[in-house]
Amino acid sequence: MTIHIGAKPGEIAETVLLPGDPYRAKWAAETFLTDVTCVNEVRGMLGFTGMWKGNRVTIHGSGMGMPSLSIYVNELIKDYGAKTLIRIGSCGAMQEKVAIRDVILAMTATTLSTPSRGIFKEINFAPCADYGLLRAAADAAASKGSATHVGGIYSSDVFYDERPDLNEQMIRHGILGVEMEAAELYNLAARHGCRALAVLTVSDHLITHDALPSDQREKSFGDMVEIALEAAFA
């Protein structure tokens, strides 16, 4: 048990999927895992451990933003021995070729700042995905026939962004989408010798202003969860 996770020793699997929303963690666990047990409810951040095709998996909420994710990932790695951590979440598309419901596999994560900034000081560290996970996820997406894009994303530290000039530069430089957590996940995985990947479903579009209705999101997110699970155990 840690400050933010109430799981007992041994209740967290080495493979952890990390949606931001704790209720999405509940939905994913109940939909894709068997023999599911709720292992955390501290502060309403739900975590579940179960089985997928004979493999033990934990699906645990991470909250919104890099500071929140940093808390949970630090504790999952250092106190519970997590080795493979895959973010499953939504993002906003930043290129016209990327459509609503498409899946983005984040090869790199650009950001203005993360909770790790104090460690890196003047260094612009380049956080990236684990190549084995990235390749396995791309293969899994191809086998499913999912519309998938592999490339760089932007991890923003604000939701209500008042820097349209910054978004313009992200678009200009080919960034596929924007979300709020992956860069710090990749930093922490690199620091502790773990594997990490972000598998993202496009829920809205910064250029076209299209958006996925809330009642359609869970069905569309199913491909993302399956790709993440296939990649973790490839």
Contacts of 234 (CB under 8 A, 6+ apart): 132, 136, 139, 140
From 73, 41, 62, 145, select the one nearest 102 (Cα to Cα): 145
Is residue 179 marked as binding?
yes
Is residue 47 marked as binding?
no
Is residue 89 marked as binding?
yes
Is residue 4 marked as binding?
yes
To the query of whether residue 157 is one of the catalytic residues in this protein, the response is no
Residue in 79, 139, 157, 204 annotated catalytic: 204
Is residue 180 marked as binding?
yes
Is residue 174 marked as binding?
no
Q: What would the two tokens of residue 57 be? A: 């998996």
Is residue 181 marked as binding?
yes
Residues belonging to the binding site for phosphate are 20, 24, 43, 87-90
Residues belonging to the binding site for a purine D-ribonucleoside are 4, 179-181, 203-204
Residues belonging to the binding site are 4, 20, 24, 43, 87-90, 179-181, 203-204
What is the set of active-site residues?
A: 204
